[in-house]
Structure formats: C-alpha cells, structure tokens
Amino acid sequence: MPGPDTTGGPGDTTQGAPTTGNPSTISDTGSGGASESDGTTDTTTTTGPATTTTDTGDTTDTTTGTVTTTPVDTTGDTTTQADTDTGDSTTGEPEFCAGEGGILLPGDGDKCSGDLGKNIFTFALCSCTNFTTAGIFTVDAFNSDANMPQPLHGGSVGINGNYTTVALADIGGTLWVDGKVSTVAVHEVGEILQCGGDVSATVLSHVNDDAFVEGNIGGLLPLMTIDGDLHQPVGKVNAGANVLGQTIKGPVSVDTPCDCSDPIDIAGIVDGYAQDNDNEAAGIDADELADVILPKVIELPCGVYYFNDIEHLLALKIKLTGRTVIAVKGDLTSIGLFDIELGPDAELDLFITGNASFADLATLGDTERPAAFRMYVGGVVSFVSLFTFGGNLYQPNAVFNAGGLASIWGSLFVGGINLVGAFAIHYDEAILDIDGCEPPGGSCFDGDDCGNPTPKCKQGECVPCETNADCGPPLTCQPGGVCYPLPG
C-alpha cells in the first residue's frame, strides 16, 4: 500500500558494523553420507552419459545420466546428488538455473518467486498485529550485493497494531506504526517516525528525521527529541516532544504499513508444485525426507522439489548447489541438528503448508547473503534452542516468539511478535533487487505486479516511480525512479 510522499534525509545515527561471519553448519563427519571423508563411501556427481561408480566392491549404475545414488553404508545413511548442470531442469525454465529470472508460482501465470520476495520483504520487521519486547531490540541494514558490504543507516520496522518497548531499542530506519507508540526505555529511531495513534515516551527518546503523528504526544516532560519537523493534526497536543524543526499543523494520515489483508496462498503454491516438480528427473521421492532416523546429507541441484513432510531425529543437512524451490505439504519437524546450506550460486524459496519446528541447533540460509533465502510458512515457526537464520521469513498467521540472545540476518513478516531477550535484525537490502519474471516496463494490474527498476503501475504498465507515494512503505522514490529505503 503506498505511503505518503515524505521527504528528508537520514539522521545522524551511525549503526554498528554487522558481524557478517559464515553461519555454523552441521559437520558431515560421522553421518555416513557421500560428503564425508570416512574412507567407506564416495559419491560422484554425473553430468554427462551414464557412468558407473565403484566403491570397495559395491557398484551403482546410473542409467539416466543425471543422478548418482550411493548405496546405504554401515550407518544406514543415504545421500543423493543430482545433476548440477545449470541448464538441466524439467521445470521448463532453463533461465532460472542459469541465474536469470525466477520460477513461476502455481496458480498465477505471470508472477515469480522473485517478484514475491521483493514485494513482501521491504521492512526488516513487519508485524500484522502488536509488537512487544522486554529485551534489547536493534535493527540495522547492509547490502549483500555490494563488493564489500558495509553497515547502512537503515532497516525499518512496520507494525499494524501497537508498539511497546520496555528496554533499549535502536531502529536504524523508519518506525511505522498503525496504532500507539509507547516506550519506557531509551529509544532511537534513525529515520522517520510514522504513528497512527498517540505517542508516549517516559524515558529519553530520539527521532533523527521528521515525525508524522495522528494523535497526541504525551509526557510530563519533553523526553522525546525530534530533529526534523513534527506533522500533527489541528487539535492534537504535543506535551512530550522537543521539536528542533517546525511543528506543522494539518491533516496527517498514516497508512497501514504491512499488507496482511491478502495473505499468500502457501497451500495452493505447494499443491501446484506437487504436480510440477523435478523429483522424478533427480531420483527424489516425495517421502525421501520423512521419518529420517539416522544422520543424513542430501544434495539438490537447481530445480523444484516436493516433499510430503520433512522429519528427522539426529541430524539432517540439505546442501543446495543452484537456485532451488522446495515445497513441503505437511510440516518440517527437526528434533536434532538441522542445516540448510547454500552454495555460492544457490538460492532457495522454501514453502511449507504446515508448521516448522526446530528443537536443537538449526542453521538456515546464509548470513552473508540473506536475500538468497526466502521461507514461507502457513503455520508456526518455533525455535526451542539456538538458531542461525540468514534469510527472509514470511509467517503471517502466527506470532513469532523469541527468547534469549538471537539474531536475524534478513527480515521477518509475521502475524505478531513477542521478544523477551536481546534480539537483533540485520536487514539485507539486496532482497529488493532479486530477479523476477516481470521485465522492466511490463504490464500490470496494480503495484504488486511491478518491482525495481519500474516499480509503479500506471495505466496498466510498470514505470519508474515519481514520488514517494508510488512506493509502498517504507520505501522512497530515489533518483532513476526506483524504490529503496532512505539512503544511508
């Protein structure tokens, strides 16, 4: 939904440099998979005619020329590797495996996985209901597409309900709240404050840019400082903010930041991929990852793969070598160690109709390039133990809970959020530039059909933006007609 045409540069706050180390991964040692150097098994990926792989007396013949499967070794683990030839995908879209475009979503003839991602994950955090945190909350940004990624002054938060913090909060970008804002600890907003209700600050609070407030600003003392202008309707009172710019009285309308009214049909997308996938060509069964008891490593090349469920007991690693879509009809249930490992050229769109639960150490995606991993869950995502998440999570139907020290490299779009311990989000702006199906200047029905570099839908055609109102919250129209966060 388009936001108001706001202007003004970023504030003076400089965010600390994100620590962009590689996420921890589950060791292959001892799992019995082909990736292990235990001296008992060797798997060779084939890309040409059928070959024979010999291993200490065991011989496996492949007749398709695209899959090599290692026999079960002494641990009972099976590892499957499929052809990594980037042009070999049965989805009918070889450009996807060549690193261009996206995979068409079932049920929508002209929208791709890439278009979906860049239109949803515009905030570091978007919540369809209230936001509450009792721990330290920080948000910053970077761009993984840069040659040497540096911390950016950005990373915005959008809340469709009320926003309440009782501990230190430092938001590098815009804070966009449809309801009330209440802070009872030191609070920093690096860019613009948009509030559709009242604002109450009982401890020092700072807004580096303009503030648009539909309600009153309360307080016994002016504990909030607004570096820019305050926009507030006639009749509303400012009793709690020191405004360094001008106070401008007039109509103020704060748009709802998160588009929660029309959730993605995750179940429909999964059902579509159940009928059209690369399982057969890669020798993958839909129950390949169901009821996995022993440690397992599976490697998937570029393509679309469907699973009825993903359930494992001890350790499961999914290694991706190319651009991949995984669709899960039921749940993803991890009792032991779980790792989704992205190769240097890999991307993943993961669609789960049910729930995703992780009871032990979990590593999902890549913290150095979170834009490469997009996860869509129809139910609830729960982490019981430590986790590393380098990606973008869409969970619109449930509250996201986090306790203890945790970090998200990427973004969250959730039904609600409740934080207890220290929590940090490092937003990857590269998500706004991932490849989709819509060419620049293509046809459109509304703004959701368009994306950079022609993000505005005008008279049925995608064109460059002209004002900030052409960009959905919290993006602004930048030189060249593209929609990005305020420059940092």
Q: What pLDDT sits at residue 79? A: 45
The H or E element that residue 165 is part of is: strand 163-165
The H or E element that residue 350 is part of is: strand 347-352
Q: Which two tokens stand for residue 84?
A: 């990594």
Cα angle, residue 259 at apex, residues 258 and 265 outer, rounded to 5°: 130
Average pLDDT over residues 95-118: 76
Q: What pLDDT sits at residue 39? A: 35
User: Under a CB-based contact definition with an 8 Å cutoff, are residues 431 and 370 in contact?
Assistant: yes
Q: Where are the domains of the chain?
A: 77-87+261-432, 129-249
Q: What pLDDT sits at residue 96? A: 75
Estimate to the nearest angstrom the gap between the alpha carbon of 106 and the chain centroid: 20
> Which tens digits make up the pLDDT trace of 28-58?
433 333 333 333 333 333 333 333 333 333 3
Estimate to the nearest angstrom the gap between the alpha carbon of 121 and the chain centroid: 6
Tell me phi and psi for residue 147, to 5 degrees: -60, -45
Q: pTM for the full model?
A: 0.79
Average model confidence (pLDDT) across the chain:
79
Q: In terms of DSSP H, where are the helices of 263-346?
A: 266-275, 279-282
Cα gap 7→255, rounded to integer Å: 16
Q: What pLDDT sits at residue 302? A: 92
What amino acid is encoded at 64 in this protein?
A: T
Strands 230-232 and 247-249 turn out to be parallel
Q: What pLDDT sits at residue 307? A: 97
Percentage above 70 pLDDT, the chain: 76
Q: What is the DSSP letter of 332?
A: E
Q: Read off the pLDDT band of 103 (50, 70, 90).
A: confident
User: Under a CB-based contact definition with an 8 Å cutoff, are residues 185 and 169 in contact?
Assistant: yes
> Which tens digits make up the pLDDT trace of 323-363?
999 999 999 999 889 999 999 889 999 999 999 998 888 88
- Give the number of other CB atoms < 10 A from CB of residue 373: 27
Out of 54-63, 176-185, 250-259, 286-295, least confident range: 54-63
Q: Read off the pLDDT band of 317 (50, 70, 90).
A: very high
Out of 75-89, 160-174, 182-196, 266-280, least confident range: 75-89
Which of 6 and 278 is assigned the larger pLDDT? Answer: 278
The H or E element that residue 401 is part of is: strand 387-402
Question: Does pLDDT of 314 surpass 50?
Answer: yes
